[in-house]
Amino acid sequence: MKVIINSDIIYHSQLVTDSISKPLQTLFRACSERGYISVIPLTTLFEFNRHQDELAQEKISKLENAYRLLDEFGIQYSKTEPSKVVKLPDLIGLIRQYDMNAIMEEPTFEDLREAHKRACLHQPPHPPSIKSDEMRDLIIWVMALRFASQDGGALLISRDEVHIHERGDDEATKVNLVRLRSIEEALDSFNVETPIGRLIKGLLETIWVDLLYAGLPLTPKVSITGISGATFIQGVRGPSLASFTFKTKTPDERIIQALTKIDATDGVITKVTLSEIMMGKAAWQEKPLPLVISTHKAFSVGPDDFRERIDALKALLEE
């Protein structure tokens, strides 16, 4: 899977010298561990280099002013040309210290033509209220759609309004393009893609309607952005007890999370208990907690291998 990174995520307020920021190091290490391909679009690289060049020129000016001040007071020193000392960072090289799979991708001619059309006609995901054409952001959007379509899904990490606006929801859903606003959201999302994450997502998909009926402010479609603290007790058909905290977004884009316990018998969910429900950093207070939901929903976690597991355990004990 490809993880496309926008310039507002790569942004550094200081001149980068020998390493990228700690959060980015964590992100690229996580991508590498999972075999994901970190993609830096050429547009992102251009924007990063432009800002870094501005910072470099400021550093050069400060050094030149310092030399002039030393000359003014007749202080002896060994001079090195500032332009030889202050260098632009090699972003891709620095990223590959943490993720050897990282690549820079140029837009295709078709990407540029499609972005140009959307910019001129203010087509989705271009928000109607924005006056500028946002060509750079549309190029990255079209590239992300292409990667997701080719690979059966992709992640786009960006806070840009063009990338996260609701006008892009339908297109993103069709190609399984997941849009995340921050490195933290991306790291949370990575846990959803693990085997345990997929199991929990399957359980939540089974009871999502029950959660909506219980009054939780969730989106109509299942969209899990984070999973943590998962524990299970294995039953005959899948888990008999699952406990975890899941994180998702509300319809108005707020973050909600809940400590969730699911009881099941023979592949049927019988009870769901939610506690420690948080809306952002504040406790959710719409209903008394814990919120207990009785249900009767069958779920499937793959082939039934109970007999095989029992036979393997017996063989192990006999040895």
97's tokens: 């210290």
Give the residue with greater pLDDT, 106 vs 319. Answer: 106
Closest to 11 measured CA to CA, from 69, 63, 89, 75: 89
pLDDT interval class at 89 (50, 70, 90): very high
Dihedral of alpha carbons 7, 10, 11, 17, sign: negative
Give the residue with greater pLDDT, 165 vs 108. Answer: 108
CA 11 to CA 54: how far, in whole Å? 13
141's tokens: 């959007």
Residue pointed to by tokens 């719409």: 286
Give the residue with greater pLDDT, 15 vs 194. Answer: 15
pLDDT interval class at 131 (50, 70, 90): low
Cis peptide before 89 (omega within 30 of 0): no
How large is the greatest C-alpha to C-alpha distance in the chain, in angstroms? 89
**pLDDT on residue 120:** 86
Those residues with Cβ within 8 angstroms of residue 243's Cβ, 6 or more apart along the chain or in another chain: 229, 230, 231, 232, 259, 260, 261, 262
**pLDDT on residue 58:** 95
**pLDDT on residue 49:** 96
**pLDDT on residue 199:** 87
Q: Span 224-242, mean pLDDT? A: 85
Helix axis angle, 22-34 to 183-192, nearest 10°: 20
Of 231-245, 246-260, 296-310, the least confident? 296-310
pLDDT interval class at 318 (50, 70, 90): low
CA 52 to CA 104: how far, in whole Å? 17
Q: Span 28-33, mean pLDDT? A: 94
Q: Quick check: 180 pLDDT over 60? A: yes
pLDDT interval class at 234 (50, 70, 90): confident
How far is the CA of 115 from the CAs of 22, 107, 139, 214, 219, in angstroms? 33, 10, 5, 43, 29
Q: For residue 106, give the DSSP letter.
A: P
In sequence order, what E strands does 16-145 have? 37-41, 103-105
Of 37-41, 118-122, 142-146, 282-286, the least confident? 118-122
Share of the chain above pLDDT 70, in %: 92
- End-to-end alpha-carbon separation of the chain, Å? 42
Those residues with Cβ within 8 angstroms of residue 231's Cβ, 6 or more apart along the chain or in another chain: 242, 243, 244
Q: Span 127-136, mean pLDDT? A: 71
89's tokens: 């960072």
Residue 263's DSSP bridge partners are: 241, 271
Q: Is the pTM of this model over 0.85?
A: no
Closest to 241 measured CA to CA, from 211, 269, 281, 283: 269
Share of the chain above pLDDT 90, in %: 64
Sequence letter at residue 46: F
CA 290 to CA 273: how far, in whole Å? 6
pLDDT digits (tens, 9 = 90+) for 268-309: 999 999 999 999 889 998 899 999 999 999 987 655 555 555
Closest to 93 measured CA to CA, from 103, 82, 84: 103
Q: Span 7-32, mean pLDDT? A: 94
Radius of gyration in angstroms for the set of CA atoms belonging to the chain, rounded to a whole number: 25
**pLDDT on residue 203:** 93
Sequence letter at residue 113: R
Q: Span 111-137, mean pLDDT? A: 82
Sequence letter at residue 310: I
pLDDT interval class at 204 (50, 70, 90): very high
231's tokens: 């524990």
Q: Span 116-144, mean pLDDT? A: 83
Contact 245, 229 (CB under 8 A): yes
pLDDT interval class at 194 (50, 70, 90): confident
pLDDT digits (tens, 9 = 90+) for 52-87: 999 999 999 999 999 999 999 999 999 999 988 999
Tally the residues of the chain. 319
Closest to 157 measured CA to CA, from 118, 185, 133, 136: 185
Neighbours of 166 (CB within 10 A): 11
Q: What is the dihedral of CA 228, 233, 234, 237, to 10 degrees?
A: -90
